[in-house]
Chain A
């Protein structure tokens, strides 16, 4: 029984790690993406720079993902 609760909690924790970080990244990317599209409407050459700026917050999800995997592979 104890094992089941532990593994359940671990699954939840892993889910939270990736879920919350994904929400955070999405939020940040939304703000930047809006500005980037606005800038691109004015000046098309800004696509590359706009893309770079938009995807910067994505790293947060990668961190969340790595943490999630670490949690799931923990030995208890």
Chain B
């Protein structure tokens, strides 16, 4: 709580012939956070183990198979003999099979699209009785095919052409709400015919797919349809084959992927180490409580030829951080994952978030009905999505606290069911003062945490100048305000002295930045920002009341209207709950990230990620 796990820096050296054993042991231990070595004059980075190349080749193939077979990881695992050669040969065989399958797929798909094109053309041509060989190329015969608006246009083309020449044949037939025409003319008058057609709004269609088909259109159409059906059949067979392959090898591929990734991680680990021709050096961090156990194990497998040096973290070290919190506050580490890890030396705010986040959330949502509904929903969601359990645990706790505040405000789906301790809807000013007081307390807790942080890092005086100055400033403004409103009998001069004092302290502590902060009075803006606790709560209540009122009106009318009333209640409250949850979550989060954290938090440390542990 408040401070992370103690860490010790560790340096492991040894001859290259035991490198693989040491890596394996470290992978099993899962405690060492490795610090990557960067190449320098003394030592290069290490070379991956020999099998790394083969492993990554096989892994690429496996991942390709997983993606082409569209396999989803649903936790299906099988027992697998950990023999690389066996896995590799199975993968190779499977890969060939799937690839040839894919090629067949492509061929069939090509054929299908070709015959679909032919079919489309034949579908138009079947309306006129012309043998297909007429559509081949002839020297003395020009051919026009396409659409005109209607039958009349076709007729007028016919009359105009007969004035030009007798050497033409015109077929026409209504197709798809337009009129299809096929016109064969003497190629000598091609240009003139073209003019006539254009005048009549002719839009040409070119038949390319029918190519060298011959004979009657409908016979051809029948043949093509049969062929297409056959192709679809074949495609379905291929799909079934793929499907059965997927089912058969799903577990194998997923397990092999996991196994080989793990082995590859080990094989590539030397890239993070320093190495010379015959020795290696690994630098990293181990939690102090695991230190001795780990060193013993390493010494045992190293058979005396490994040398391990360790020391506790020093002040200027960049230590990876492993947060330490009681089980109940643990889910709230999620918020630091989202934001940034606190540095090793500063206070870990998780526990504060655990205390205040649900309270802020509860004040905003604050309704027995809404709290219980979301509690149930999040509980169900948590069971459905165990991977996001931290997130849901936070929300479940927050919903529970909302229910408690609902009891306090006496609200049940917007109805006031008994006389409340504080009524959010009526006692707006009372609520405003309460939340501002909460805000002042929260911001000041932040200042105190900041004070401790700076005290640990730079000593007492720096902490007084930088953080206590704000508290003096608050005192000054408070005295001034209270004496102005005649609540206390102190001369305003006292307040002014406080102000001046805090001003000087800020200038001393933070220089020109302090001056700006003093003028902008940022701390009061921060406190005023907590008014949102009341504002969002109020808007949620008012919406709920409006929903209830409009539903009640329908209930009074009776009969069919009761149904509408129920509908309004369900839809309205569902929307209001969703809005309330989103608003309460984000605003509570924001109060922590902006108003609270700005008083003390530095962050940007690295998270402790031990070698070999699975990342969540």
A residues adjacent to B (C-beta < 8 A):
47-49, 51-52, 55-56, 58-59, 62-63, 65-66, 69, 73
Contact = CB atoms under 8 A, between A and B. Distances in A.
B340 A58 contact: no
Contact of B589 (A51, A63, A73): A51
B564 interface: no
A59 B530 CA distance: 9
Interface of B: 335, 338-340, 428-429, 432, 525, 528-529, 531-532, 535, 586, 589-590, 593-594
A51 to B, nearest CB: 7
Among A52, A56, A62: residue with most chain B CB under 10 A: A62
A75 to B, nearest CB: 13
Given A49-B339, A49-B340, A65-B535, A58 B429 contact: no
A52 B338 contact: no
A62 B536 CA distance: 10
A55 B429 CA distance: 25
A73 B532 CA distance: 18
Instruction: Decide if the interface of chain A is mainly helix, strand, loop or mixed.
Output: helix
A51 B593 contact: yes
A51 B528 contact: no
Contacts of B428: 69, 73
Contacts of A65: 531, 535
A28 B593 CA distance: 19
Given A48-B339, A51-B589, A73-B429, A62 B531 contact: yes
Most chain A CB atoms below 10 A, which of B528, B586, B590: B590
Contact of B590 (A49, A51, A73): A51
18 contacts: A47-B338, A48-B335, A48-B339, A48-B340, A48-B593, A49-B340, A51-B593, A55-B586, A55-B590, A55-B594, A56-B594, A59-B528, A62-B528, A62-B532, A62-B535, A65-B535, A66-B432, A69-B432
Contact of A52 (B429, B528, B532, B594): B594
A59 B535 contact: no
A44 B282 CA distance: 30
Contacts of A62: 528-529, 531-532, 535
Contacts of A49: 339-340
A6 B150 CA distance: 71
Contacts of B528: 59, 62-63, 66
A52 B525 contact: no
